[in-house]
Structure 1
Amino acid sequence: MQAAQWFFLLQSGEATAADHTRWSHWRAADPAHEAAWQRAEQVSGKFGMLPGALSMPVLGRTVRSDRRAAVKALAVLLTAAPAGWLAWRASPAREWLADHRTATGERRELHLADGTRIQLNTATAIDVAYGTTRRLVRLHAGEILIETAPDAVPSSDPGYRPFVVETAQGHLRALGTRFVVRQHADDRSHVTVLDGAVEIRPDDARNLTAVVRAGEQAMFSATAIGEITAASPDADDWSRGVLRARNMRLHDFLAELGRYRPGVLRCDPAVADLRVSGVFQLRDTGPVLDSLPQALPVDVLFRTRYWVTVVAPGH
């Protein structure tokens, strides 16, 4: 049970320096504690880390009534079959029950019945719901690259089914196109149009619409559409397994790299504004981290394999 509690806390991003000290003392106090922790790391390394939403109800951080049940369930899963852990990891339920999903660091390509191609980026979950009136893709989490195919029915026919992507903030209607959609954790969605055009319609402002055309991008919430700006030339690099940095802040670079590796990847504010440029392979993020001290005045500290902080030298 204690290993499960520590596991939740340390990957939540809410642990303090005092928490880390207590955790270290707990591990050293008993060989059984260390064995339990090693088991937790082995399981998480195989299937990825628990989502942050499940990380809070531990060690007195909240008073949610399901706290004890959540930690107890994880304690069981740490000694259970891998399939059980995978089911827990993929919560919330809508992501676990999604038609198609990827784990942290995984990418997949789908070919739908009408010829549409969808590439799923890391930690992505979607549903595909083709009906008689529309072709719908629900993006629950993550990021997708879509290349739509024409419907079998001509667009001039009353039976034509538009292609629509639904996010937590609104709906995107494809106007014969290739585009990237990303669901952010801060209640916003982002669309980048590579070919064709996409119409944005926020859920809570149905009379508000905007058309984003090839070479453009926009962020939107449930109530507003942000400024339409020139698209990043690197918007679909991830589909080729590449992260391209162009004079990017180290903090932003690590935030992006962290999407492709399980666990916590942090940046010390003292080095956050250092700049990174280059092309980095996403298949294995370890060599990317190893290369940072060769290019920048930083050290990479590993508390564990899944808890990494980039700091100033000698920190």
Structure 2
Amino acid sequence: MTPMRAEEKNTPPVSRRAAVEAAEWFVTLSDSGTSAHERHGFETWLARSEEHRLAWERATQISAKAGGLPSAIAVPVLTRRQSAVSKRAAVQALAVLIVGVPAGWMAWQSGSLQHRLATFATATGERRQWTLADGGRVTLDTGSAVDVEYGPAIRLLRLHAGAIYIETAADTDAANRPFVVQTDHGRVRAIGTRFTVRQDARRSRVAVTQGAVEVSLADGSDSRRIEAGNEVSFNASALMPTATAAAGSVQWARGILAVENMRLDEFAAELARYRPGIVRCDPAVAHLRITGAFQLNDTEAVLLNVIHLLPVDVVYRTRYWATLVPRAQST
């Protein structure tokens, strides 16, 4: 495949008016008392233009990346009994972020600036595969970004966000350069292998399917060899105990979300990585456990499968905002 740099994807600007309207709808739909008439009004507004769709997408991204509304916005919309002044303040605060995304708040919050400048990058719900210069292959998970730097002494992949699956190849250079994946938390050196590396703000995780890797912490305090069938999580200063690789560690590269006895709130957060918009889980059902293998090319079907497996239902505020709730609550 031909590498496509993320900066080649031109993102159109959002006008102040569209941002304010999107923010107004977001604050309105955050209210548990939203009426069917209001939801219909939102759908009509959303379908009116591509700019409206983009503004709404940015609003939901801001919320999802922050694990909820930014604090400046969240407080004014916690209850229906907010003053008009508080709600106007919330709308204005969110509108500023929508206009500034991705160069402003989102760049700081989620590393989107690095994402846009990366050698390879994927959008929400997208998975892509590239062939490297030495014949190795790299598969990027949803919302991921990686730089590829092949120099005279090393073959280096810098993972900025998300997850990658690597199938290494023998070095075509006579120097037999080491193959290394670098994250914020350390380095992973391949030893004739296939493996996946995932990074979030708190830690990195490596799972090996063939061969072995050597994991070294960013602060240089420790390193460990991880053999096929095992995985390890680590931050910049500590390696967690080595464990048997979880079923879902590599299945995403085949388009499958595989989970075993996972809490429903964790499952919702994982599914949200692959679905545009927001997926939430009501605290009343967060503790429920789910096991299964779900096709990621149809997240709507995944949600339908969940309601057949567990005593829950899905409530849609909009097409882009789904919440898993107790079944009785949705009737």
TM-score, normalised on structure 1?
A: 0.78
- Separation in 2 of the partners of 1:131 and 1:69? 45
How far residue 307 of structure 1 moved from its aligned partner, in angstroms, is 1.5
> CA RMSD, aligned part only?
3.8
Instruction: Report the count of equivalent residues.
Output: 289
Question: Is the 8 Å Cα contact of residues 49 and 89 (structure 1) preserved in structure 2?
Answer: no
Q: 1:37 to 1:93 in 2, by over 3 A?
A: same
Deviates more, 1:287-296 or 1:170-179: 287-296
Tell whether 2:261 aligns with 1:242.
Answer: no
**Which of the two has greater helix per residue?**
2
- Separation in 2 of the partners of 1:9 and 1:199? 50
| Cα deviation code 1:177-217 (max 9, x no counterpart) | 110000123x200000111111111112x131111111110
Residue in 2 aligned with 1:181? Answer: 197
Q: Quick one: which amino acid aligns to residue 98 of structure 2?
A: L
Tell whether 2:312 aligns with 1:312.
Answer: no
Deviates more, 1:226-235 or 1:187-196: 226-235
SS of equivalent residue, structure 2 residue 143? coil
Question: Is the 8 Å Cα contact of residues 46 and 53 (structure 2) preserved in structure 1?
Answer: no
- Separation in 1 of the partners of 2:110 and 2:261? 34
Tell whether 2:120 aligns with 1:103.
Answer: no
1:94 to 114, 136, 157: 114
Question: Is the 8 Å Cα contact of residues 43 and 318 (structure 2) preserved in structure 1?
Answer: no
- Separation in 2 of the partners of 1:19 and 1:47? 15
How far residue 304 of structure 1 moved from its aligned partner, in angstroms, is 1.2
- Separation in 2 of the partners of 1:60 and 1:271? 22
Residue in 1 aligned with 2:160? Answer: 140
How far residue 59 of structure 1 moved from its aligned partner, in angstroms, is 4.1
Q: Which aligned pairs between 1:1-315 and structure 2 lie closer than 5 A?
A: 1=16, 4=19, 7=22, 20-21=30-31, 35=45, 39=49, 42-43=53-54, 50=61, 52=65, 56=70, 59=73, 71-72=95-96, 74-75=98-99, 92-153=112-173, 159-185=175-201, 187-204=202-219, 206-315=220-329
Where does the alignment leave 5 or more consecutive residues of structure 1 unmatched?
Answer: 62-67, 78-86
SS of equivalent residue, structure 1 residue 239? helix
Question: Is the 8 Å Cα contact of residues 124 and 276 (structure 2) preserved in structure 1?
Answer: yes
Q: 1:199 to 1:133 in 2, by over 3 A?
A: same
How far residue 250 of structure 1 moved from its aligned partner, in angstroms, is 1.9
| Cα deviation code 1:3-31 (max 9, x no counterpart) | 535756998xxx8xx98239959x96xx8
- Separation in 2 of the partners of 1:38 and 1:76? 22
Where does the alignment leave 5 or more consecutive residues of structure 2 unmatched?
Answer: 1-15, 76-91, 102-106
Q: Quick one: which amino acid aligns to residue 117 of structure 1?
A: R
How far residue 293 of structure 1 moved from its aligned partner, in angstroms, is 2.4
Residue in 1 aligned with 2:5? Answer: none
How far residue 269 of structure 1 moved from its aligned partner, in angstroms, is 2.0
- Separation in 1 of the partners of 2:164 and 2:264? 25
- Separation in 1 of the partners of 2:66 and 2:285? 28
Q: 1:190 to 1:32 in 2, by over 3 A?
A: closer
- Percent identity over the alignment is 41
Q: Quick one: which amino acid aligns to residue 278 of structure 1?
A: G
Question: Is the 8 Å Cα contact of residues 212 and 228 (structure 1) preserved in structure 2?
Answer: yes
TM-score, normalised on structure 2?
A: 0.74
